[in-house]
Structures are given as structure tokens and as C-alpha cells.
Structure 1
Amino acid sequence: MDPLWAMIAELWWIVPVTTGAGVIAMLGMRHQRTIDARRLEYDAARLELHDARAHAWSTRGALKLARAELEHVQAERAAARASGSDVAAARRRLAVAQREVRAAATEVRMRRVRVSAARAGLAATTDPEHRPLARVMAAHDDITQRWLAYETDPARRIVFPGMSDGRVPATAAYLTARAEAQRLRPPSSQTRMTPVQYVAYRNAVDELARTFEAAERLAWQEARAAGMVAPEPRPEPAVVWAAAAQQFIDRSSAAIAWASDNAPSIVAMAQRLNDMTAPRTAKAPSAASSQRTDAPPPPQRTPPPPARDSRQPVWPVPARGSQRSAS
């Protein structure tokens, strides 16, 4: 038998095994890519929560440093080596650090809510069109279409010239955000992205939407001021009251949530204030002391008058005539 055919007869099983392994690896990579695409929003939310916690820890360190600086400046002020303006500046830095700590704590709570929302939305990302990257790219395309409506419509270019003028600050900011979002945009919604890349692209699209809204609002205001479009209709009173009521409900819910989160610290603070402001009650007298107070006081003895010393001379000296008359 030919040696070539003999080798093929011995090693024929390598071809199907290699092919099967390649197919299995390709299916596994495709499945893993699908899972990563579905978890992209959740992983990004966890990354943002981690960054928010790191920022919160840094603000706490800055707060401790501001307090130490204030104590140092106050000590220097007591030693007449610092002025009152230095103390005021240290107090302002401490107030700024306290505001930063509160803002960082709020950011951490908000990021936790986003993580919970992203975890709950994992079940709704089975459709490729509703996956995180596809939604962000759809929002990007929607903003681009809205801007092209001002660029391609001659009537809109006449009424809203500011939307095409790069010298207008709002339009220039939009064009800058548009270039940044276009630079970070992936080739397709099936492109594999890391959470860091996805967060950068999503934030760029959010900035693009914000700048476009600002430029469009300014262009409409200028058009109304020039009389090119009808004035903005006033909202109905019922709509205004409904919006105000909804805002009041949202603020009340936020206040209740804050109170429930900080209830232990509030109770402890109130207890400390109560202990500091409550009058101190006198101790109850003992039985022996009460008996002593009930008994009548002992009579006070008046000291006897001092004895007169006979050796002391009598002054003035009596006259001799008085002694004779007495005799």
C-alpha cells in the first residue's frame, strides 16, 4: 500500500475532530459575545458605582484635611500668627468639602439605583434591538436626523439660521459634541465593547443630546423674537398645577427616602441634643440626711464675755474728791 494512503487511513479522524472543536469554539465565543452585549449596561453601571465610591472616599479624605486645616489656623490665630481672613477662608474650604461629601454620597445612592435598574433590565435585553449598545446608537441616529432636518430643509435654514452657524456658541458646542460622539461610535451594534468604551460612548451621546437641545431652544427663541414663528402657547393651568403637584410629590418622596436612610443618625443626634439641653435633676437626699434636716437645729450658745483683767489700769483716774464724798 502506498505510504500516503496508509497515513491518511491512520489519521483520518483528525479532520472531523478539529472541525468539531472549531465549531464549538465559534459557538461558545458567539454565545459569550451575546451575554456580554446583554450585560453591557449592567457592567457599565457597576463600573460607575465603583468610580462613585472611590470619589466618595476621596471627598471624605478632603473633608478630614479641611477640618485639620481649620483647627491649625484657629490655633495659629490664638497665637497671633494668623488673621481672621485666614480663619474665614479655612471655614469656607470646610463648607465646600462638606458639600462635596454630601454630593458624593448622593451620587453613590443614585449609582446604586442604576445598578438595580440595569440588573432588572437584563431579562428585557433578549431582543438585539433593545440591547444597550443598540439603544444608544438609535438615540445617536435620532439626534443626527433631527439636526439634518435643519440642514437640508431650505425653509428651516431661513427661519433658524443659528442651527447652521458654527459661530453661535450653542451650535459650536453641539458640533464639538457631535464630532466626539462620532469618534467613539462603534461600526455596528454587534461590535464587542468593554464597559469603559460603552460608558464613554453613552456619555458622549448624552452630551450630544444636551447640546442639541440647548442649540435648538436658542434658535427657536431667536425665531420667535424675530417674528418668524408663532409665539409659544401658554400651558393650561391644569397642566401647570399637575406638574407642580408631581414635583411636590417627587420632592416629598425624596425627603422621605432620605429620612428613612438617615433615621438612626437623626435619632442619635436628637438624643444627644436632648441630653445636652435637659436640666440636671438633684440627687434624692438620703434617709440620714432627711432625718437631720427634719430635726430642730441645736441651740446656739453665746460665748461668755471676756473676763476683765484686774491688772489693766482704770482710765480715767477718779478724782480724790469723789472718793472722800463716797467715804
Structure 2
Amino acid sequence: MDPLLLVAEWWWIAPTAAAAGTAGALGLRRRSTVSGRRLEVDAARHDLRNAQRALAERRVALKIARADLARVTAERAAQRATAEQVAAARRILRERERDAKAMSADVRARQVRLNAARAAIPSASEPSPVERLQAAHDAVTARWMRYETDPSLQIAYPAMTDVKRPATAAYFRAAGHAADMRRAATGRITPADFAAYRDAVTELERAFEAAEHEAKVHAGEVPTTPAWQDTAQEMLSRSAEAIDRAAGAAAAALSSWTNRRKPRNPDDRP
């Protein structure tokens, strides 16, 4: 057969094959999204964007607080503002600085979670993110049911079923919220729905741990930790960090002083 006729007859194969490959790749990505395999990644990206927007707002508020302090300080110098107003502006500035610092740390944490979610996308043979979340939810409920159904545990830890205790009441509230978020996270789940259910399960786990710890304290198995010890430990940690920073700054200054270039004597020859 004439090569030209062969090319004319089969010219459509290469474009069709390329289009089929592209459609196949898009189909795989779509099936992955529909099946919920990338839902945890999408939810983590959703959280990161919200945190980044919140950080931008905190930074704007910080700039405004700095400008307000400068304005009030200038008015104080002109005797048009009081010392109390300057002190109030300084307090607001410190609060805005803490807010911005905390939100910046939250953005970094959200980025880490996004990277971890990307690295842990489950395969088709593994449970989906929703299934894993439901399993974690069921695990906490099963741990709680032991205290509800085992008579020996009821006698040993009566605080676990006493709704008058704050930690137990907090657990029941968290359990009800997690159940509501689980019902909402059905059908075609959005990243926001998954994130809300994930956060509810995380709060449920924390509430259960707090209730169980308090019940063991009430039973005399775990000693109560005074609040002043936690405060003292936090102060020691901050002091150690401050000492480390000061030591690092001193070492850098000493190195700079030691390695400085000595001034040249005009009588010295090159």
C-alpha cells in the first residue's frame, strides 16, 4: 500500500489515543474524588486556606493596633491623651501580637497536616478517609460503653456516668455533636463537611480522655495535679527558651567581635 494512503487512512489514531489517555487520567482522578480517597487532602487544603485568611486578618489588626498606639502616644506627648489610654493601646497591641503569633503557628500546623494527608492518600483496597474517621468515632464510643455496661467499672468509676460532673457532661455534649456531624457527612461529602466531622471526632477523643482522667482521680488511682505546678512548668519552659535565645545571641555577638577586622595602622606597610 502507498505510504501516503496509509498515513491518510490512520492519521486519527495518535490524537485519539492521546485523548483517551487524558480522559483516562481525568477519569481516575474523578473516581478518586467521588470515592472520597482524596477527601482528607481536600479538607486539609480547605482548613489551610481558612487559616491563611484568618492570619491575614490578624496581621491587618496588628498593623492597626500599632498605628493606634503611635497615634495615642503622639497625642499623649501633646497632652491630648491620658496615660491610661496609652496603656490600653499597649495592651491591645500585645493582644494582637499574640493573636497573630498563634494564627501563624496554626497556619504552619495546617500545612503539615496537608502534607501528611497528601502522603497518606489510601489506595482502593484501604478504608476511605470517612471510613477511618467513623472507625475512630466507633472506637471512642466502644470505650465509653464499657463504663455503661460493665457493673464492675460502674462501681469502680462512678464519675464516668455522673452527668453532674463537668468533664462527663462535656463528653456527652461532644458525643452528641460528633453524632450530628456524622449524620451530616453522608452522601456526597464536601471538604467542609469532612473537616467538621473530623474536628468533632477529635474533640470527642479529648473529652473522653478528660472524663476518664477525672474519673480515675475521683477513684483515687491518679493524683490530682495542682494548677500551680502546670503554671510553674510553663514558666520554666519559657525561661529555658529565653535563656537559650540569650545564649545564642551572646555567642553570635562574641563571634562577631572576635572575627571583626582590626583597623589598619597608617604606619604599617601593606
Counterpart-to-counterpart distance in 2, 1:149 and 1:59: 45
User: Is 1:150 matched up with 2:147?
Assistant: yes
- 3-state DSSP of counterpart to 1:60: helix
The CA deviation string for residues 129-174 of structure 1, in whole angstroms up to 9 with x for no partner, is: 2x21111100100000000000001111111111111111111110
**What secondary structure is seen at the aligned counterpart in 2 of 1:44?**
helix
Q: 8 Å contact 1:60–1:101 — kept in the other structure?
A: yes
What is the aligned partner in structure 2 of residue 196 from structure 1? 192
Shift of 1:31: 8.2
Higher Rg of the two aligned structures: 1
Residue 125 of structure 1 pairs with residue 123 of structure 2? yes
- The question of whether the paired residues in 1 share the 8 Å contact of 2:75 and 2:81 is answered with yes
The match for 2:212 among 188, 204, 216 is 216
**Correspondence 1:40 to 2:39:** yes
CA distance in 2, matches of 1:209, 1:181: 10
Give matches, 1:28-177, under 5 Å: 32=30, 34-36=32-34, 37-122=36-121, 124-129=122-127, 131-177=128-174
Take 2:81 and 2:32, find their aligned partners in 1: how far apart are those partners?
64
Q: Aligned equivalents of 1:30 and 1:50: distance in 2? A: 26
Q: Percent identical across equivalent pairs?
A: 44
C-alpha separation in 1, matches of 2:158 and 2:104: 44
Structural mapping, 1:275-290, within 5 Å: none
Give the 3 Å change call, closer, same or farther, for CA 223–74 of structure 1 in structure 2.
Answer: same
Runs of 5+ unmatched residues, structure 2: 1-25, 224-236
| CA RMSD after TM alignment | 3.3
Aligned residue-pair number: 210
Where does structure 1 lack aligned partners over 5 or more consecutive residues? 1-27, 233-247, 260-265, 285-327
What letter is aligned with 1:218? E
CA deviation profile, 1:87-120 (whole Å, cap 9, x unmatched)? 1111111111112222222111111111111111
TM-score normalized with structure 2 length: 0.69
Q: Is the 8 A contact 2:184 2:193 kept in 1?
A: no
Equivalent residues of 1:128, 1:134 under 8 A apart: no
TM value normalised by structure 1? 0.58
In the alignment, the residues of structure 1 paired with residue 175 and residue 69 of structure 2 have an alpha-carbon distance, to the nearest angstrom, of 45
